[in-house]
Amino acid sequence: MRIEELASLIKKPEWAKLGISERGELTFACFDQAKKTGKNPKSLAEEATKYVHGDIINKVEAANGYVNIYLDFNKIFKLMQKNLGAPLNSSFSKKNVFLEHTSVNPNKALHIGHIRNSYIGEFLRRALKRAESNVITANFVEDTGTQVADIVVAFKLLKKPIDTNMKFDLYCSKVYKEVNEEYSKDEKLLELRRGVLQKIESGDKETVDFLRETVLKILSGQMETLNKQGIEYDLLNMESYILSSGLIGRALAILKEKHVVYSPKEGKNAGCIVIKYGDKERVLRRSDGTSLYVSKDIAYALWKHGILKEDVKWKEFMKNPDGSQIFLSEYDGKSKALGKYDMSITLVDSEQNDEQEAVSYAVKSLDNSVNYIHYSYEMVALSKETAEAMGLDVDSRFAKMSGRKGITIEVDPLLSRLTEKIIQTARENKKSLSEGDAFKLASNVLRYSLLKVSPSKMVIFDMEEALNIKGDTAVYINYAYARAKHILDNLKPQKNSDYKFDPDEEKILRRMMFWRETFKESIEKMKANILCDYLHGLCDSFNWFYEKNRVIGSERESERSAVVNMFVDIVAEVSSILGLFLVANV
């Protein structure tokens, strides 16, 4: 329940601000009011207890300047049941949100560093929808620039074979590493890349057509990896298409007209187009007329917020796991009105904080009402043990991902390894587990490991730690859920709804009671780790309850089965928002 929901059922002094109590369920402090009235806080608290009453209250106590309110769980439980599945309101409710995440160059498979972006993005999509926001989720496919040009160099100029039995995006990861190794051995080969880039920019049909065909094959592989894990999109915006209409030129022109950018007459940036924000400045277009990547981001952001108009066309590309359609920007598609957004949220790692600051400044300089949110997060590394287990040679205690240096662990083989280990553990425990369920658990293991860490902190993923059934892991959470489901599956239907809960039952109900309040904090701060912390703590409470209290066949079977059922429902709800697949038969 939410604090304001409970507050509406309680009469209290007007000045009292309710919060969650460690001693009771609710509390309010008397210090500020005592200071205003010149009263002693302890005396004021004693006096205030006389004005606190309500049908859901069990008792009220004063303690050291606080008023602690203990609720009647026999009445609160019915409200908790009623609230399951009810709207989860927040400041995002009813807002139109353009959410953009993943945005990986379509020249290789997704690696563990990329997938943190996708997992956070999917959490935001689900949380925003649960908070009744109107969300359009996009993946900006960066199919221009040097990295995709390397694929053309590999297949067209270095004559690397394009046919393969491997999943094509995984094969291209291998090819991309090989090309960069060859560049490091012979820098003259970089001229091949420059030549390809010139052909792409000039619209050379043979080069552009080959690149387009190859990019879409790689993109399909990336989307398969994401699709299997329940990560959904509405739009795939191809950078080459969005920007081919002269959007960058129009963006720079309006920025110049509004004096947001300028062109120095002398110095190292003479003849360039430069943006200055705070004490920083950044070149958007070189003196030779070539645009830097930040100018593309600015132009795209201006389009997203309707400051620049562009009639984009989309065509059906593939389906989401729920059967809804994903659209790809394409010249032979159909125009699709997207409407106006109250805000956009763009997930970009912290290495691009400075660039994103320039984008935000440019957008707000043209329209200060625009709410452009750069969601920054830190990188992912592998522990030395996990990196070596996956075939990487590591000198330090962890390995940071670098596609160009060939230090990557792609998501597909990592999930395969995790799936194998989960199946092996099940066999050792003489349990039967399908490959499909094992894959779901493997996806959970990786996703939870990356979501449970605050986005402002780097993740060091360790496979053995993530699979620990007793740790802060997805395995531990799923085990608690499966244990509870097993209890419910072996119970006879319960008819009683007039419950009289005992202290142990109330203790876990107190944990479950405020999950909606935790959700609000999580979505307002846009941090999945807040919900992860809650979920792990709830499972701790359940396991404590389970070890101490028999459910099936006990004289309190009715109350305890109700508690277990509530636990299952809340774990399912929170897990769904986080994107975790729960498996009951483990």
Residue recorded with tokens 């970089």:
190
DSSP state of 109: -
Structure tokens, 17: 């601000």
pLDDT of res. 442? 97
Q: Where in the chain is the domain with CATH 3.30.1360.70?
A: 3-71
pLDDT of res. 461? 94
Start-to-end CA distance of the chain, whole Å, equals 31
pLDDT of res. 405? 64
CA 98 to CA 344: how far, in whole Å?
A: 4
pLDDT of res. 406? 63
Q: Does domain 102-245+313-341 have CATH number 3.40.50.620?
A: yes
Structure tokens, 436: 């499909």
CA 236 to CA 130: how far, in whole Å?
A: 23
Q: Does domain 3-71 have CATH number 3.30.1360.70?
A: yes
Q: What is the pTM of this model?
A: 0.94
Q: Is 537 helix (H, G, I), strand (E, B) or coil?
A: helix
Structure tokens, 11: 């009469």
Taking every pair of Cα atoms in the chain, the longest distance, rounded to a whole number of angstroms, is: 88
Query: Tens of pLDDT along the chain (586 residues)?
Result: 889 889 999 999 999 999 998 777 999 999 999 999 999 999 999 999 999 999 999 999 999 999 999 999 999 998 998 888 888 889 999 999 999 999 999 999 999 999 999 999 999 999 999 999 999 999 999 998 888 999 999 999 999 999 999 999 999 999 999 999 899 899 888 999 989 888 887 788 899 899 999 999 999 999 999 999 999 999 999 988 877 778 899 999 999 999 999 999 999 999 999 999 989 999 999 998 888 889 999 999 999 999 998 888 999 999 999 999 999 998 889 987 777 899 999 999 999 999 999 999 999 999 999 999 999 999 999 998 988 888 887 777 887 776 656 677 899 999 999 999 999 999 998 888 999 999 999 999 999 999 999 999 999 999 999 999 999 999 999 999 999 999 999 988 777 678 899 999 999 999 999 999 999 999 999 999 999 999 999 999 999 999 999 999 999 999 999 999 999 999 999 999 999 999 998 8
Q: Is 299 helix (H, G, I), strand (E, B) or coil?
A: helix
Query: b/e string for 373-404 if b means 16 or more Cβ within 10 A?
Result: bbbbbbebbbbbebbebbebebeeebbbbebb
Query: b/e string for 289-299 if b means 16 or more Cβ within 10 A?
Result: eebeebbbbbb
Q: Is 156 helix (H, G, I), strand (E, B) or coil?
A: helix
Residue among 454, 420, 401 at smallest CA distance from 110: 401
CA 300 to CA 306: how far, in whole Å?
A: 10
pLDDT of res. 525? 97
Instruction: Extract the runs of DSSP E, i.e. beta strands, from 305-360.
Output: 313-319, 325-329, 334-335, 343-347
Alpha-carbon dihedral angle through residues 312, 313, 318, 320, given to the nearest 10 degrees = 50
Supply the DSSP string of 254-290, one letter for each residue.
HHHHTTSEE--SSSTTTTSEEEEETTEEEEEE-TTSP
Instruction: Answer yes or no: are the C-beta atoms of 3 and 18 closer than 8 Å.
Output: yes
Please name the amino acid found at residue 445. V
CA 388 to CA 464: how far, in whole Å?
A: 13
Radius of gyration of the chain (CA): 28
The alpha carbon of residue 576 and the mean position of all alpha carbons in its chain are separated, in whole angstroms, by 12
pLDDT of res. 549? 95
Q: How many CA atoms lie within 13 A of 106 on its CB side?
A: 25
pLDDT of res. 403? 60
pLDDT of res. 262? 94
The alpha carbon of residue 23 and the mean position of all alpha carbons in its chain are separated, in whole angstroms, by 34
